Amino acid sequence: MGALLSEISWGVVLILLPLAGGIACFLFPRAAKVLGLVSVFAVLLSVSGLGWNIKVNGIYRHAIGGWNAPLGIDLYADGLSLLMLAATALVGFGISVYSADYFEREDAARFWPIWLLLLAALNALFLSADVFNLYVTLELMGLAAVALAALAGGRDALGGAMRYLLASLLGSLAYLFGVALLYHGFGSMDIAMLAVRVEASPAVWAALGLMSVGLLLKTALFPLHFWLPPAHASAPAPVSALLSALVVKGSFYILLRLWLEIFGPLGGGVDTLFGLLGTGAILWGSLQALRQTRLKLLVAYSTVAQIGYFFISFPLAASAGVTAWSAAAYLVLSHALAKAAMFLATGNVLRFGGHDRIADLDRVVQRLPLTACAFALAGVSIMGLPPSGGFVGKWLLLQAALTQDRWDLVSVIILGGVLAAGYVFKVIGHAFTLADISHESREVPAKMEWAALLLAFGAILLGFLASPVLSLVGIGVPFGVSEVSP
């Protein structure tokens, strides 16, 4: 068994499986739901296979076509890639179970093939070691995400999707320009080779600027977040969950990877800028979330705020590398689970009451107790209360900030938590208040409630799994060696 597990190249399987699944869904639309669920489940198993492989053999590297970089393209996976792949597979599986009941007939035939190709794009992105190959995966991810965002049709969804597409294309082009400069400056597209060859020069600075702007635009970091709320709030619930939980993480992962390997060692104050923008995102996103009257927009602005936390790690990493980056990784993982749970819960509320006005959420607790519970548990992780994944992430971040006496960032982290508590309780408070307006109510399938609840449970459970998860992420030393160990 062990031999079989380590003989199969799971990284390749992770790319080809959802690809083949997506094509099969396209060919046989009537069986799309079954084919899709089977593929996503198989992806989940394959991630375990890759995890086993990495745990036993260390870093995974696969030279595609047998050529080896720089001529060929390499696949590469260490603990960080594994974390992203696992988050994608877990959250993706939860959302798939939910979608199986959410989309019917023709909508299912439209949703499944695009979602599976998006899954293939995400897996390919997390496994790539080549900056141009990353560009292709970025475009793949962007087009799939836009097509999904437009699924609902209507003025809001189409407008949101259009804006999203333009932002996404602009981001990819800026990134591609950076790739051109790196390649022509240093003669390789392999990240590891570039890491060795790169030295401070105008080409590197311009590449850093272009790639950062492009990727920040796609990650929706304040003030480049303008496209996110309309796109995420007007898509169908499972799509909003996919976009918020997974897609923005794709471009963030590329930025993180490039920073860790290529740009970080150059120094130059960009990390301070990222920290400032992160602060801006936390404050602005949280305040906007507090102001919203519609639940979906509130959850979307909460994403804008939480993205800010990922960027607080950059200025802290200079002298507390491992802690700060572990914090970012943990926050990415727990945000993926919690935000997916929140959007799915919101979808249940919408389906039940036909609206998502926060002020009229009255009967949700009585009629959809599991959904209300899912929202509350996800909220615990978003706020960063113990015990939850969000708590571990923010705790690590605070630790990194405290060891460096960065009181400004400490206060931002805490203030963000308080504001998050504000908007989560705003929702929960309304859900508990009794009002006597009667609504048209629709049945919500049990599976849809359970999918949201289990994802939220996952976010809480992460609060107890800090040391095994972090030791897994540490495989291959993606964050370098630092004096502070978690």
Partner 1 sequence: MSAAFLFALVGVGLFSLGLYALIVHAHLLRKILAINVMGSGVFLVLVALAKRTGESQPDAVPHALVITGIVVAVSATALALTLMLKLTAETGRAELPEDQGK
Partner 2 sequence: MEALTLLHWTFDILLGLGLLWLGWRVLTSPDLFNAIVLFVAFGLLMALAWVRLDAPDIALAEAAIGAGLTGALLLAAFAKLRTVEKNHDIAGQLEKGKLENRSFQWWPATFLLVVAAGLGHTVLSLPHYATGLSAEVSANLKSSGVSNPVTAVLLNFRGYDTLLEMVVLLLALLGVWSISGSALPREAAPGPILDTLSRLLTPVLILVAAYLLWVGAHAPGGAFQAGAVLGAAGVLLLLSGWRLSSHLAGLPLRIILVAGPVAFVAMAVFTMLTGGQFLEYPRAEAGTLILFLETAATLSIGTTLAALFLGERPKNKREYP
Query: For binding to partner 2 (CB under 8 A), which residues are involved?
Result: 9, 12, 16, 19-20, 23, 26-27, 29, 62-67, 70-73, 75, 105-106, 109-110, 113-114, 117, 120-121, 124, 132-133, 136-137, 139-140, 143-144, 146-147, 150-151, 153, 158, 177, 181, 183-185, 187-188, 201-203, 205-206
Minimum CB distance to partner 1 smaller for 47 or for 304: 304
* Token pair belonging to 448: 């849809």
Provide the greatest CA pair distance for the chain. Answer: 69
Minimum CB distance to partner 1 smaller for 148 or for 333: 148
Using rule CB under 8 A, residue 63 touches partner 1: no
Which residues inside 116-145 make contact with partner 1, applying CB under 8 A? 132, 136, 139, 143
Other CB atoms within 10 A of residue 242 CB: 29
What's the min distance (Å) between Cβ of 467 and partner 1? 43
d(CA 381, CA 455): 11
Using rule CB under 8 A, residue 162 touches partner 1: yes
Asked whether the bond before 223 is cis by omega within 30 degrees of 0, the reply is: yes
Using rule CB under 8 A, residue 151 touches partner 1: no
Minimum CB distance to partner 1 smaller for 129 or for 345: 129
Among 41, 52, 183, 284, binds partner 1 (CB under 8 A): 183
Closest CA to 460 of 382, 353, 346: 382
Other CB atoms within 10 A of residue 185 CB: 18
Residues in the chain: 486
Q: Is 441 left (phi over 0), alpha (psi -120 to 50) or beta?
A: beta
What's the min distance (Å) between Cβ of 166 and partner 1? 6
What's the min distance (Å) between Cβ of 226 and partner 1? 9
d(CA 127, CA 451): 27
The phi and psi torsions of 405 (rounded to 5 degrees) equal: 55, 35
Q: Is 134 left (phi over 0), alpha (psi -120 to 50) or beta?
A: alpha
Among 34, 42, 173, 283, binds partner 1 (CB under 8 A): 173
d(CA 179, CA 138): 13
d(CA 332, CA 253): 9
- In the stretch 78-117, what mask flags binding to partner 1 with x, by CB under 8 A? ----------------------------------------
Closest CA to 256 of 385, 427, 78, 118: 78
What's the min distance (Å) between Cβ of 156 and partner 1? 8
* Strand partners of residue 128: 75
* 410 Cβ contact partners less than 8 Å away, ≥ 6 residues apart: 398, 401, 402
Other CB atoms within 10 A of residue 82 CB: 24
Q: How far out from the chain centre does Cα 195 lie?
A: 25
What's the min distance (Å) between Cβ of 32 and partner 2? 11
Using rule CB under 8 A, residue 193 touches partner 1: no
Minimum CB distance to partner 2 smaller for 23 or for 290: 23
d(CA 188, CA 166): 29
Minimum CB distance to partner 2 smaller for 188 or for 302: 188
Calculate the dihedral angle through the C-alpha atoms of 176, 123, 217, 308, rounding to the nearest 10 degrees.
-140
Minimum CB distance to partner 1 smaller for 159 or for 387: 159
Under a CB-based contact definition with an 8 Å cutoff, are residues 130 and 484 in contact? no
Find which of partner 1, partner 2, none residue 193 binds, CB within 5 to 8 Å per kind: none
Beta strands in 193-280 (DSSP E): none
Among 61, 163, 197, 367, binds partner 1 (CB under 8 A): 163
Which residues inside 216-235 make contact with partner 1, applying CB under 8 A? 230
Using rule CB under 8 A, residue 152 touches partner 1: no
Using rule CB under 8 A, residue 61 touches partner 1: no
Q: What angle do CA 431, 433, 434 make, to 5 degrees?
A: 115
What's the min distance (Å) between Cβ of 173 and partner 1? 5
Minimum CB distance to partner 1 smaller for 141 or for 383: 141
Find which of partner 2, partner 1, none residue 154 binds, CB within 5 to 8 Å per kind: partner 1
Minimum CB distance to partner 1 smaller for 133 or for 334: 133
Using rule CB under 8 A, residue 158 touches partner 1: yes
Find which of partner 2, partner 1, none residue 114 binds, CB within 5 to 8 Å per kind: partner 2
Task: For residue 457, give the 3-state DSSP assignment.
Answer: helix
Under a CB-based contact definition with an 8 Å cutoff, are residues 39 and 116 in contact? yes
Among 63, 180, 195, 465, binds partner 1 (CB under 8 A): 180
Minimum CB distance to partner 1 smaller for 182 or for 452: 182
What's the min distance (Å) between Cβ of 182 and partner 1? 11
- Interface contacts to partner 1, rule CB under 8 A: 132, 136, 139, 143, 146-147, 150, 153-156, 158-159, 161-163, 165-166, 169-170, 173, 176-177, 180, 183-184, 230
